[in-house]
Structure 1
């Protein structure tokens, strides 16, 4: 069966179509006719599809009408058919002139012709094309099935089937997901993220990515809980019909979700292992085989500390870059265990996402890892104190903070010793209460909510703290002493018992 063209539809007098501009494009193929009234119809149709509209999606002003024609032509849309029912704004001469220049057909459809008649005509004429699409769908799903049985990845097999180099990009963190041997160019990732401009609440269905003056790739949103897009690399607009894209997005989305869930489970298991090493419940002999499974055995290690709120970012960025690591939370901080040889690369990866990082000295023995965590915490506090992005335990010299673990222990005992002893003797929570109260800027409601206690209970505890220490929670000098002592305590203990 020969391909249906826009000119063929105009020639069918019973359809009531007339060409008012873009006659040079009447030989454009039409494989489907679709009605759309959204402001950006080019994102909802694909190559060789005819846009049918009552005119609601046609802007009223000249500039935006011209832009509508340009965007539709750029997306490879076959043409636009506007219903002649007086709902459309007047089509400006500039819009029609642009259509003539681009050879983009603009048709009017008689109000006596329902869009369903136009759609059925195209559907019947494109029957053989639909059979071809069904065959392609079968091949796509076969590629997905066989990818689980072979060494090649799903993306590689889909790339081979569709004829484009495919990648998955997390546009929230600027990382490549499901990365194989062939990696997408970093500049393309940066340009894609820049094009989105941080608007991640609703990703565009389709986005062209240009590097300089050259079109580098075309991106399609994915149905995943991570902010991901399927990126087809190519120096021209990707010629994939909506049918193929839709199912490729579905297949890749499922694979991203599966891989993400598996990695989250592995991260949690690794975090539990690191936690056991830190608190001493797992000896070196028992830890060794599990470190081997994580790719971290028989090498020097370094521990990196960061604010606990950034653990998800750390796990995603390092996981996508396939950097072996273990991470866990201890109190208000998170800690990463990784090979010392990867430290510089990891700092470069995490820097754009985490404001302060504290680096421990290197160690090669499991027994010293709790000390490494304390060192990382000390360095993190140093980075926070002077506002630097990275601080190393061996070189940092923060203002006002103790420089060694023994100094930190002495400073904490000097101010908080009686409180610490009281808590230990009475199983009370005065230190925790003071820490929360000052961390939350002395907000009574926020502190009570965090500790899940009544405000009267909070008032009783604060009075008890003042009575034991002889210091006031209202005096600036005493508050400063409390705060620095609490930081010294965190450094000396590393958040550990």
Structure 2
């Protein structure tokens, strides 16, 4: 049985046909094409395409409407009217009637013989391969003329296949390309769980759910990201393996394009955020730049996490369309985002990184740098307590100073004598203390890291106790010294 449709015929550039009305019926199937110039409804039947030079087309407006209505009632696939002087002008009312009935009216170049169209239709009726080529032509035409304003590529391909299409990143559990209706989170989690053990080699085909009149399947995509094309619809809708192969290729190319564009935006955002945190931009100069990232908002929140998580954070936030800018400074990664989207972002990211810190809202550009410090202090609190997320406003004050000024005061009060001793004697007692505590008070590891003998380390530790008045065997003194060292680091810029 022929799979050729009116839309397939139009997609064949060599045929030279174009729809002038009834575009809603381009999916009508064509089983035969026939020429007639006299009462065509008497000679043609259902799913047949009328080809006419125009002699059978009435000139009267009302008669033209009746002409279209009778062809539609007979079940014809459509009509091709030769583009020459033989045919009368097609009235606006006639074209409107065809649009209402979704009955395709095509015009054909006079350079294309009707015999060529008839042979194409006849061959398609006998050859599955011709039908496949016709369908592929339509698929690639859909991709070629995709406009972000009109519709996404995925939406166009979905209309062509008569299936709902989604692209799921099964590694991060997100939808990569926008669609009119998102997949349910439970469905995404189910799919991701089923392939979690085979991420390096995703199954080519997987049935996610099925019923008498419903099926959902997933197909691996040829992309750098671990993505699968999810199709849901009626199992009776025909999509052969040949067409699916090309749909996967087209979708894979689109995923790669979107990914590259996001990476470019992320790099630009990183440069801008670094300048904001360094205080090298003015409010007037940065405001229009924030608009480009959808970040021209009344309030911002800064999240801080381990830099190894940065790529995943960018991917997840990008897939969920959360406006953001990210950057790595020193030992911390930062994400700037609208405060209104911060609960969503925290929920998305917190389950994937061991610890994360969140700042209070900032409502001026100048406060963003302070927010980054606060987020990093909150991150330290999260790491210390083992909680996945620490918010500076509620968690961090229990463990670190609230402001840079407080941090500097704490540093001077606890480490001031030690810092002044180092300065006056060109010694490294503060470095020794930090190394000793960072390595869990291991004498061997500390001595190796500093490149000194254990006896020299013993002398330094006694001197540290003397200058600070703290006992390096007492838990309370160790905690105070460690927090003082962290406060000293936070008293500088966010990179410290």
Aligned residue for 2:335, secondary structure, equals: strand
Q: 1:470 aligns with which of 463, 470, 473?
A: 463
Aligned residue for 2:145, secondary structure, equals: helix
Deviation at 1:281, TM superposition (A): 1.3
Counterpart in the other structure of 1:262: 261
Map residues 451-490 of structure 1 onto 2, 5 A cutoff.
458-460=450-452, 467=460, 470-471=463-464, 483-490=482-489
When residues 155 and 441 of structure 1 are mapped into structure 2, their CA distance, relative to the original with a 3 A threshold, is: farther
Residues 369-388 of structure 1, C-alpha deviations (whole Å, 9 max, x = no match)? 11111111122222222222
Q: For the residues of structure 1 that align with 2:180 and 2:428, how far apart are their CA atoms? A: 53
Q: For the residues of structure 2 that align with 1:170 and 1:464, how far apart are their CA atoms? A: 52
Q: For the residues of structure 2 that align with 1:465 and 1:180, how far apart are their CA atoms? A: 65
Residues 44-100 of structure 1, C-alpha deviations (whole Å, 9 max, x = no match)? xxxxxxxxxxxxxxxxxxxxxxxxxxxxxxxxxxxxxxxxxxxxxxxxxxxxxxxxx
Q: For the residues of structure 2 that align with 1:360 and 1:294, how far apart are their CA atoms? A: 20
Q: For the residues of structure 2 that align with 1:496 and 1:211, how far apart are their CA atoms? A: 52
Map residues 4-43 of structure 1 onto 2, 5 A cutoff.
none
Deviation at 1:276, TM superposition (A): 0.3
Contact 2:302-2:358 within 8 A present in 1 as well: yes
Q: For the residues of structure 2 that align with 1:168 and 1:248, how far apart are their CA atoms? A: 12
When residues 414 and 464 of structure 1 are mapped into structure 2, their CA distance, relative to the original with a 3 A threshold, is: farther
Q: For the residues of structure 1 that align with 2:295 and 2:249, how far apart are their CA atoms? A: 35
Deviation at 1:335, TM superposition (A): 1.3
Counterpart in the other structure of 1:251: 250
Aligned residue for 2:198, secondary structure, equals: coil
Residues 146-191 of structure 1, C-alpha deviations (whole Å, 9 max, x = no match)? 1158621111111111221111001111110111332222222121
Deviation at 1:440, TM superposition (A): 6.7
Counterpart in the other structure of 1:63: none
Contact 1:302-1:359 within 8 A present in 2 as well: yes
Q: For the residues of structure 1 that align with 2:490 and 2:213, how far apart are their CA atoms? A: 52
Contact 1:301-1:362 within 8 A present in 2 as well: yes
Counterpart in the other structure of 1:290: 289
Contact 1:191-1:211 within 8 A present in 2 as well: no
Deviation at 1:488, TM superposition (A): 2.1
Q: For the residues of structure 2 that align with 1:253 and 1:133, how far apart are their CA atoms? A: 20
Aligned residue for 1:254, secondary structure, equals: helix
| 1:154 and 2:146 matched | no
Deviation at 1:342, TM superposition (A): 1.5
Contact 2:300-2:363 within 8 A present in 1 as well: yes
Q: In terms of mean alpha carbon deviation, does 300-309 or 405-414 score higher?
A: 405-414
Counterpart in the other structure of 2:314: 315
Counterpart in the other structure of 2:389: 390
Deviation at 1:487, TM superposition (A): 2.3
Deviation at 1:484, TM superposition (A): 3.0
Report the TM-score, using the length of structure 1 for normalisation. Answer: 0.63
Q: For the residues of structure 2 that align with 1:194 and 1:276, how far apart are their CA atoms? A: 40
Aligned residue for 1:270, secondary structure, equals: helix
Aligned residue for 2:494, secondary structure, equals: coil
Aligned pairs, how many?
367
Q: For the residues of structure 2 that align with 1:363 and 1:330, how far apart are their CA atoms? A: 19
Unaligned runs of 5+ in 2: 4-124, 466-470
When residues 212 and 137 of structure 1 are mapped into structure 2, their CA distance, relative to the original with a 3 A threshold, is: closer
Deviation at 1:491, TM superposition (A): 3.3
Contact 2:163-2:234 within 8 A present in 1 as well: no
Counterpart in the other structure of 2:354: 355
Unaligned runs of 5+ in 1: 4-125, 448-454
Kindly report the root-mean-square deviation, in angstroms, between the aligned alpha carbons of the 2 structures: 4.0
When residues 316 and 471 of structure 1 are mapped into structure 2, their CA distance, relative to the original with a 3 A threshold, is: same
Deviation at 1:493, TM superposition (A): 3.0
Map residues 40-59 of structure 1 onto 2, 5 A cutoff.
none
Aligned residue for 1:147, secondary structure, equals: coil
When residues 287 and 127 of structure 1 are mapped into structure 2, their CA distance, relative to the original with a 3 A threshold, is: same
Deviation at 1:320, TM superposition (A): 0.7
Aligned residue for 2:202, secondary structure, equals: coil
Residues 311-339 of structure 1, C-alpha deviations (whole Å, 9 max, x = no match)? 11221111111111111112221111111
Report the TM-score, using the length of structure 2 for normalisation. Answer: 0.63
Counterpart in the other structure of 1:100: none
Q: For the residues of structure 1 that align with 2:327 and 2:423, how far apart are their CA atoms? A: 26
Residues 350-376 of structure 1, C-alpha deviations (whole Å, 9 max, x = no match)? 222233222212121111111111111
Map residues 78-93 of structure 1 onto 2, 5 A cutoff.
none
Deviation at 1:410, TM superposition (A): 3.3
Counterpart in the other structure of 1:197: 196
Larger radius of gyration: 2
Q: In terms of mean alpha carbon deviation, does 479-488 or 293-302 score higher?
A: 479-488
